[in-house]
Structure 1
Amino acid sequence: MVLPSGFTVPPLPALAVLLAGVAAVAFALARVRPPFTDRTVLAFAPWMALGSAAYVCHQLALLPSIAMPFASAPAVYGSTFVVAVAVWLGARRTAAPKRVLAGIGLLALSAPVALALHYGMSEGTLSPLWPLLALLVACILGVVCWIGLRRVRTADARVVDGAGALVIFGHALDAATTAVGVDVLGFGEQTPLSRLIMEFAAGLPTAPVLGVGWLFVVVKLVVAVAVVLLLADYVREAPTEGFLLLALVAAVGLGPGAHNLLLFAVAAA
């Protein structure tokens, strides 16, 4: 398996509600078939982080008992999907659907973030320095990779546009926060595949100086750039499906990265 540990199945009543919600929004999407562009991917970015922030609150037991099953992993991804798609479909009735989708996502994201930060302050565990440094490194790495991609594969970069940039930043954030968490803050890596990469790095001569996270950073960035390039042709042929795949790839990086960023800032290892 390559899934992180800690995944649990919610109680049957909550699972039934969640599956019904997923089925309902999936049916609505199939009927409406709204266009999905690079700007739509960017508008969903706050929602990608929302699920991770809610999961942090679940880990810290900060949510009401009725909400806890819906914020566990992997149920939180289904819960976020249901709410985000419902908001998206409703936002399409407005004059600026993408702005409405992004704006509501940012407002929704602020709630679990504020709750987690309040926990960190009240418990005396708030320590944002290293997470913020990881965010800075992720921004730098993301910008460098994106600029390099635009210069080397200009046509492909133009096709994927902002969605491609979000993919690279999301995976840079996941990589940088994971490296900081493992090498500096003493957190363990839960994903078996990532753990294997770090165990390999631990056996290299560079381990005493560079730690074990650097190789994970390199692998993540190389894979992210490669996936963006591979999907560029698909976006040309089928834009809606191509950008949908880019959104999924972005979520796989941005979600864990946002989770690490918030958890490391408010909870000591």
Structure 2
Amino acid sequence: MNAVALSGVLPSGFALPSLPYLVAVAAATLAVVAGLRRDRPAVSTRVVLALAPWMVLGSSLYVCYQLALFPDAVAPFFGSPVVYVTTFAVAGATWLVARRAGPSVPVVPALAAAGSLLAVPTVGAALYRGWTEQTLTLPWPLAAVAAAAVLTAATWAVVARVRPDDAATVGAAGVLAVFGHALDATSTTVGIDVLGYGEQTPLSAAIIEFAADLPTEPLLGTGWLFVLVKLALAAGVVALLADYVRELPSEGNLLLGVVAAVGLGPGVHNVVLFIAANPAGF
């Protein structure tokens, strides 16, 4: 695929760092992948949930990069998309260290705790920047989080009623995946319809632009269709993955984790960025 075609698919802000940074990230990632392939740790629902703080970490690191909070020497590790590879390398290395630390270390709780200990100060740094720059905004971004929680509960109730066996199979990992995409959708809607941001991903922007041309726009805004599409897709994909989880639990749960990450990551990024850096002050 040529560069012109790629420009219609990739979000704006997508840029690779210089070669030395790419080599360093690639080497670390390959080493971690080799270690994980050698150990072949089982990926359960608990592991997917333990990786959620790492998803938050990657997104908030990118927000800090956008806010220019990193020294120039290390900033290229945290641009998009390399920040997510960097985060994966650190998370994978942490997982391997926890597994090899001996039976006294509970691996999954240790993985979750390490991600949380890194994510909390990273989010805090972004919010502190908003406080000092007087661009801190809480009501609308937090409303997006609350709306995502309500929509997730409603969507999961439908999934559990229509496909009860599948809902039971994917469990909390499926709920996390639906919540991640709900948060991406609600935060995007708040950003566009209330806070004046634009959508960076062309495919998402096309749905939003289509909704903007509908007669419902004066009443419902432009993001409602995007919310419905995201919820329907997330619920459908999660239900379809249930058979995979039953047949190959580790591989199926790993794919569920990926589905969760591609929703939760952008959603958390939106919320943290909107809280920390909304110049309009809504």
Moved more, 250-259 or 2-11: 2-11
Residue type at the aligned position of 2:176:
L
* SS of 2:17 mapped into structure 1: coil
1:72-120 CA distance string (max 9 Å, x none):
0011011000000111111223531111111111110012111111100
Counterpart CA distance in 2 for 1:78 and 1:223 is: 25
Q: Say yes or no: does 1:109 pair with 2:122.
A: no
Instruction: Tell me, in whole angstroms, the C-alpha distance in 2 between the residues paired with 1:67 and 1:104.
Output: 21
Counterpart CA distance in 2 for 1:128 and 1:112 is 17
1:123-138 counterparts in 2 under 5 A? 123-138=133-148
User: Equivalent residue of 2:241, what SS?
Assistant: helix
* 48-57 or 1-10, larger mean C-alpha shift: 1-10
Instruction: State the shift of 1:134 in Å.
Output: 0.4
Counterpart code for 2:61: A
Secondary structure of the residue that 1:54 maps to in structure 2? helix
Is the deviation greater in 62-71 or in 31-40?
62-71
> Which of 225, 244, 264 in structure 2 is aligned with 1:234?
244
1:72 to 76, 79, 83: 79
2: CA distance, partners of 1:26 / 1:36: 14
C-alpha distance in 1, partners of 2:152/2:113? 24
Q: Does 1:84 align with 2:91?
A: yes
1:24 aligns to what?
31
Residue 89 of structure 2 aligns to which amino acid in structure 1?
V
Return 5+ residue gaps in structure 2 as ranges. 1-7
Instruction: After superposition, give the CA deviation of every residue in 1:114-141 in whole Å (9 maximum; x if it has no partner).
Output: 1111100000000111000000000000
Identity of aligned pairs, percent? 55
2:131 equivalent in structure 1: 121
User: What residue ranges of structure 1 are gaps of 5+ in the alignment?
Assistant: none
Letter of the 1:225 counterpart: A
Number of aligned positions between the proteins:
269
1:2 aligns with 2:9: yes
Point out 4+ residue stretches in structure 1 off by more than 3 angstroms. none
TM-score by length of structure 1 reads 0.98
1:125-162 CA-partner distances (Å, limit 9, x unpaired) = 00111000000000000111112211221110111011
Question: How many angstroms does 1:168 deviate by?
Answer: 0.3
Paired position in structure 2 for 1:38: 45
Alignment of 1:1-269 (within 5 A): 1-92=8-99, 93=101, 94-268=104-278
